[in-house]
Structure 1
Amino acid sequence: MNQVSIQKLTPDMAEQYVAYFDNRAFSDGNEQKGCYCVWHHWTEQKEDERSAMPEVERPFCKRNYAYELVKNGKLNGFVAVSDGEIVGFCNADLKENYFRHSRDNDPESWDGIELDSKILTIVCYIVAPDMRGMGIADSLLEYACHYAEDNGFDYIEGYPSDGTFDAKNCGGTDSMYIKRGFQIIKTGDRIIARKRICESD
């Protein structure tokens, strides 16, 4: 197997990103195919626009939106690359940049967080079916932790799957977070894994 490297997703990778979701991310026929990992940015307005499109154009709506977001630096995260191709993706960004996780739309998840805190939030991991079970999601989380420490974040948090970690429950496992010192917080039917990043002396 070729070596897997982890790096930040950059705007010039927009074509590679959508190609990964087109061809490899769900090559096992998983029902999530076509998500392009845009749900956390998906607004009611975008859904209305999609519904108003001719039916034949709707399947391309999320693809085009993902391309636009990556190209404009608004869909961020980290990619696992092997032999020049993306084989895994971790959707991670400043928490307030996610429509679904804004203070207005997800106030419960902000409990205990200071108003001016900078939070790196991980919302999803998508690893190519033929590359699963090799620790790629774990490596993506490790990279994200170092990125948060090196870039002035106050917290890093994720949303581990409550049950099987798979393409539908794509938040990773709680054990991934626990072994790195994250606190596991249960709020209703959701789990938040959160870690305060220590300030340098």
Structure 2
Amino acid sequence: MADIVISPATADRFDDAEHALSGGGDGAGCQCQWWSITNAEFNSTSRDERQALLLEEMAQEVPPALIAYVDGEAAGWVKVGPRPTQRRLPRTRMITQSTTEPIDDDTVWAVTCFVVRREHRGTGLNARLLDAAVAFAHDHGARAIEAYPVDTGVGTHPANELYHGVLTVFENAGFVETARPKPDRPIVLLDLSA
């Protein structure tokens, strides 16, 4: 049985973050900046510039993500933080028109990105990352957590599209669907105030 440890993505773990993000999909090029910067900024920055932005985020008092280690090797990543720090969220019509929470409320956190290296997919690591993200948000004062997963029961989805997370993983963690702005894209919420 694998030994799994999930730790905050702090600056001293930058090399581990890069390893986790480079295991397949768009993580290596995106550097988990899709939700952190505007569309115009994303399109005008290079991979190296996005990498520098990620390192700046990881050096903040509250890291922007968690890293999963499997038997000591960085194997996965989940982005979690207050919605206002994820600057693309208030610019995404699907979210702003459908959320049940004030978009500028910093007690509402968002889980927006998962990356699991190919060799660790299908092992339940996303569920472990989500559980750790919920605990991390709760420990840092979050009142609620919102997410924007893909409902894989509707249509077909390439693996690269699943970085949002899969609906069933969120449902199994107790999240409740609050809106469905697109047939395959629900918005889910977990109330941490209870």
TM-score bracket for the superposition, by shorter chain length: 0.7 to 0.9
- Match of 1:7, SS? strand
Matched, 1:141 2:134: no
Q: What letter is aligned with 1:156? A: I
Instruction: Decide which structure has the larger Cα Rg and report it.
Output: 1
Matched, 1:25 2:20: no
Match of 2:9 in 1: 9
Match of 2:112 in 1: 123
Match of 1:186 in 2: 179
- Match of 1:37, SS? coil
Q: CA deviation at 1:80?
A: 0.4
Q: 1:161 aligns with which of 143, 150, 153?
A: 150
Q: What percent identity do the matched residue pairs reach?
A: 21
**Root-mean-square deviation over aligned CA pairs:** 2.8
TM-score, scaled to structure 1? 0.77
Separation in 2, partners of 1:132, 1:117: 32
- Match of 1:34, SS? helix
Which ranges in structure 1 are unaligned for 5 or more consecutive residues?
51-57
Q: CA deviation at 1:162?
A: 3.4
Aligned residues: 187
Contact persistence 1:185–1:192 (CA under 8 A): yes
Which ranges in structure 2 are unaligned for 5 or more consecutive residues?
none
- Match of 1:40, SS? coil
Match of 2:57 in 1: 69
Match of 1:37 in 2: 32
Which stretch has the larger CA shift, 151-160 or 106-115?
106-115
Contact persistence 1:35–1:62 (CA under 8 A): yes
Match of 1:174 in 2: 167
Q: CA deviation at 1:152?
A: 2.5
Residue by residue over 1:47-96, the C-alpha shift from the partner in whole angstroms, topping out at 9 and shown as x without a partner, is 4753xxxxxxx342322332233234576111101233210000111111
Separation in 1, partners of 2:97, 2:145: 16
Match of 2:41 in 1: 46
